[in-house]
Amino acid sequence: MLRENNIASTASKVVEIIGPFSASSVTAINITYAPSTTYYCKVRARLPIATPWSAARSFSVEPVSPMAVSRPAPGSNDMPVKGMTLVWTALPGVSQYQISIDTSVSFEVPMVFTTISAPFYVMEEDLKYSTTYYWRVRPLGGADEDWLTSVFITEAEPVPEEPAEPTQIIVEPAPQAQAPIVNVAAPSSAIPSYLLWMIIVIGAVLVIALIVLIVRTRRVV
């Protein structure tokens, strides 16, 4: 026999909680059950007189889904250093999880140690490049509170691109427009030389004749 318990009650229906949890109004029979195992129970009254045992009834406990890492996969490389999200499978009946993150597998002074209600954690902390990070999570409030541990490696620091060398553009000066060459002919003499001499002689004769005329005119007077 696994357990026998006495319950004092005058109610028409008696309720007893069995399992590793406690209720606020009753004291539970603290028993941890093995999953996928059949259990039998029966009841009887003891006071004011003892009654025969009732027919045995059976029940079984569903196996608890094992918690596993969903993302990133254990040992993943090239993980982002900003906005890293850790995801694991949720456990039925579990409302809180405890998570711890560190660069050391010992988790002596973790960079993150907190309690959350969702089966995932979005990191607000900026991680370092090319660094190995260890993280672990465990459910709270249940019988099994073993840590689930995983590891990932962040991406390498991007190499800054070298600035492109400026391209030299050689601009050749535009060819200067050459002024048109105009051949100016030397001015030709309008009057031949012999005519020029004739005009001079005639002019001289006229001047002499004018002088003679003037002289004669004065004598007559």
Architecture of domain 69-154: Sandwich (2.60)
What's the pLDDT tens digit per position in 105-164? 889 999 999 999 999 999 988 899 999 999 999 998 754 578 899 999 999 998 888 777
Does the global pTM surpass 0.75?
no
**1-63 and 69-154: identical CATH topology:** yes
Spell out a b/e string for 45-56, using b for 16 or more CB atoms within 10 Å of the CB, else e.
eeeeeeeeeeee
Provide the CA 56 distance to its chain's centre, in angstroms.
Answer: 62
For the chain, which residues make up each domain, given as ranges?
1-63, 69-154
Contact 31, 18 (CB under 8 A): yes
Query: By mean pLDDT, which of 18-32, 68-82, 131-145, 207-221 is the weakest?
Result: 18-32
Closest by Cα among 163, 135, 159, 139 to 149: 135
Angle at 50 between CA 46 and CA 56, to 5 degrees: 85
pLDDT over 60 (residue 45)? yes
Third-level CATH fold of 1-63:
Immunoglobulin-like (2.60.40)
Give me 65's structure tokens.
């889904």
